[in-house]
Amino acid sequence: MVRAGEDCTEVACSLKQVAETTVTKVAPPPGKEATDGDYGGGAPMPPQDGGNFGGQGDCVCVPYYQCKEGMVSEDGSGLLDARKKPPPKEEIPLDGLNDQKCPGVDQICCAEPSAVTEQPYVASCGIRNDNGINSRILTKDGKGEAEFGEWPWQAAVLKYESEILKFECGGTLIGSRYILTVAHCVARFVGYDRVPLKVRLGEWDTQSMKEFYPHEDYDVGNIFIHPHFKNSSLWNDVAVLELTRHVHYAPHVSPICLPKPEDVYEGSHCVVTGWGKDAYRTGKFANIMKEVTVPVIDNPTCQNLLRQTRLGRYFRLHEGFICAGTEDGKDSCKGDGGGPLSCYTPDGRYHLAGLVAWGIDCGTPEVPGVYVRVAKYIDWIAEVTRQPLSEFYPKP
């Protein structure tokens, strides 16, 4: 992910080596061995087990502000924003805030209220958590970092590599068992006796196990590549990953809405997310998920701009693409592939306008990034998922 004015320091290009003792042991899958590609980065990810996020013995780990007089608050005391002049800011005592029993730096082990009935989480597509979830400490500092849980449909596609999982590319959660990504990332894994891929949902900081909610990994059971995918030109560069089990929806994991075939987004400002590089050749991958807002431009304008590059004056932009981003230093980049181009719509939800596909370098002025135009492939997506289109749209 490239952002204007950002220092290109090492944030997590190779997603930093994780010590062998902390990595989940993953048996190599049966079947032929995959060959490493040059897309994504091939770096280890932390193991799935995020530690005990429920509690310690007779207490439960919660943010300090949810613990009142040693008991978890059930009525919102002290957490409600009354519409009046605020009182003087209360000093928060730091003693005992984290006695190493809880994973989060702002958490405390607090007595659990009695007779708590856990309600199942009901997800609705396209709902962004604008300021993240479960934290009053925001990380937005001009460097383009997303908040924890802000983009709950962002997925990471991982590959079995010996005893660890390595990052391949991004993906987008569109339903309880389906991930949309780009074909050029996963086509080489078709035909295996067992697909050597996992999808990680709920990830945010790839080098930390202390997020408030843990991520979860899912095995990929089937890969569907668009029948007219052309690897050389990346035409019809779209794939569906079918998971072996249903996704456990949570506040930080929920799907994005799909567009309707007739939907257009030219003129909109949309958001790209991912852990991709911050520069084309020498850039580093991000530890923490990044976001950047880019303008969507029409295809004739995009084609003319791309003809000014090494593609030349005869280049023809395929109708299955959509373009976004012409500002210096604001673009998707290597490793973001398959991730979402999320557009806010009048219905108050985000729709999946595009998937990060390709570009000429990264973040060059007047050179747009190119994305898969998801609206063009809605019928094919419904066909391979065996789902009615209504499953991918907001419920009335």
The pLDDT tens digits for 125-165 are: 999 988 887 643 334 445 678 888 899 999 999 998 877 88
CB 194 within 8 A of CB 30: yes
Residue bearing the bigger pLDDT, 273 or 20: 273
Which of 71, 88, 111 is the C-terminal boundary of a domain? 111
Tell me the C-alpha distance between 108 and 67, whole Å: 8
CB 184 within 8 A of CB 169: no
For residue range 302-314, list pLDDT tens digits in order: 999 999 989 899 9
pLDDT given at position 79: 53
pLDDT given at position 151: 93
pLDDT at 207 over 60: yes
CB 149 within 8 A of CB 213: yes
Give percent above pLDDT 90 in the chain. 42
pLDDT given at position 283: 54
pLDDT given at position 42: 42
pLDDT given at position 107: 75
Which of 91, 111, 131 is the C-terminal boundary of a domain? 111
Q: Is residue 313 part of a domain?
A: yes
Q: Is residue 45 part of a domain?
A: no
Q: Is residue 302 part of a domain?
A: yes
Which residue is listed with tokens 């405390």?
108
CB 44 within 8 A of CB 18: yes
Read off φ and ψ for residue 230, nearest 5 degrees.
Answer: -120, 110
Cβ neighbours of residue 160 under 8 Å, at least 6 residues apart?
26, 28, 29, 196, 197, 198
Closest listed residue to residue 128, CA positions, set 110, 155, 146? 146
Which of 111, 132, 151 is the C-terminal boundary of a domain? 111
CB 386 within 8 A of CB 224: no
Tell me the C-alpha distance between 125 and 349, whole Å: 7
Q: Could you list the residue range(s) of the whole structural domain that residue 69 is in?
A: 56-111
Tell me the C-alpha distance between 246 and 358, whole Å: 30
Q: Is residue 308 part of a domain?
A: yes
Structural element, H or E, at residue 380: helix 378-385
Tell me the C-alpha distance between 155 and 313, whole Å: 36
Q: Is residue 294 part of a domain?
A: yes
> How many C-alpha atoms does 191 have within 13 Å on its Cβ side?
5
Tell me the C-alpha distance between 154 and 244, whole Å: 19
Q: Give the domain CATH number at 276.
A: 2.40.10.10
Q: What DSSP assignment string belongs to 234-281? A: TBT--EEEEESS----BTTB-PPBPPPTT---TT-EEEEEES--SSSS
Task: Quote the number of domains for the chain.
Answer: 2
Helices (H) and strands (E) in the chain, counts: 3, 16
pLDDT given at position 363: 59
Cβ neighbours of residue 282 under 8 Å, at least 6 residues apart?
8
Lowest mean pLDDT among 114-123, 207-216, 252-261: 114-123
Burial 126-148 (b: 16+ CB within 10 A, else e): bbbbeebbbbeeeeeeebbbbbb
Q: Is residue 84 part of a domain?
A: yes
Tell me the C-alpha distance between 253 and 249, whole Å: 5
For residue range 336-368, list pLDDT tens digits in order: 688 999 999 999 999 999 999 988 876 577 889
* Band of residue 47 on the pLDDT scale cut at 50, 70, 90: very low
Q: Is residue 218 part of a domain?
A: no
Q: Is residue 71 part of a domain?
A: yes
